[in-house]
Amino acid sequence: MNAPATGTGTIYGLGLGPGDPDLMSLRAHRLLGAARNVAYFRKAGRRGQARKIVDGLIHAEAAEWPLEYPVTTEIPVTDPRYNQLLAQFYEDGTARLVDLSRKGEDVVVLCEGDPFFYGSFMHLHARLQGVVPVEVIPAITGMSGAWTATGTPVTWGDDVLTVLMGTLPESELVRRMSDTDALVVMKIGRNFDKVRRALRQAGLYDRAWLIEYAQMPNQSVMPLAQAGDRVAPYFSIIVVHGQGRRP
């Protein structure tokens, strides 16, 4: 790739943390307050969670650039159209950001959690690198906010922590759950029943906690066994605490 041209603006992947604006880093807060271009991901017709987090923190003269997903859960991730639609979405978003940068404009892209941890910004970052200046501002992850909400350390001593996506096949979930000390399961949503079955097979169900909307005003924390038939929202994480070596 060609080196970024001089005089171009910088694209910042701005990690916002798990949901409470008080948990943003000082650097993220400073960049956000000075930004004159703010981009963020959202589902069509929605405000977007990242945008909600920064209510009242964006400069009054800032231009907002919503990036609207063409698809979220409407078709399965195994459908070839899913990747095709999202790939074009990220290409279009990259082109918009490159255009702003080459006009000398800095842009902050709001990212829930940490931008480099299962975040949408990663797909823009891969396309922006070497084209225009791009920087990433790290943040507290959603899973860190979730296990902190339980009030119990997630790992002790030599515990091994495994992070799994609920989208994995059930047999793979069971295999990996059975081979770890501490566990985080993300992307639960429509996979909730499958994840619960896998936890039972792995013998971890009774130790599991369900955290919804971690570090947000509507946060909910409960043992998974008490969740009943509830439907887990998108912002849900399951945590199983390690039981390792302690002094």
Residues 123, 148 share a domain = no
Q: Which residues does 175 contact at the CB level (< 8 Å), separation at least 6?
A: none
Both 131 and 18 in a single domain?
A: yes
Q: Output the six-digit token pair for 179.
A: 């081979």
Number of domains comprising the chain = 2
Task: Please say whether the beta carbons of 23 and 17 come within 8 A.
Answer: yes
**CATH of residue 26:** 3.40.1010.10
CA distance 58 to 45: 21
The range of the structural domain enclosing residue 220 comes to 143-240
CA 162, chain centre distance (Å) = 17
Query: Do 38 and 154 belong to one domain?
Result: no
48 and 136: one domain?
yes
pLDDT by 10s per residue, the chain, length 247: 344 555 799 999 999 999 999 999 999 999 999 999 999 999 988 889 999 999 999 999 999 999 999 977 667 777 788 889 999 999 999 999 999 999 999 999 999 999 999 999 999 999 999 999 999 999 999 999 999 999 999 999 999 999 999 999 999 999 999 999 999 999 998 899 999 999 999 999 999 999 999 999 999 999 999 998 877 777 899 999 999 999 9
Q: Is the pTM of this model over 0.85?
A: yes
Same domain, 15 and 136: yes
Residues 134 and 21 in one domain: yes
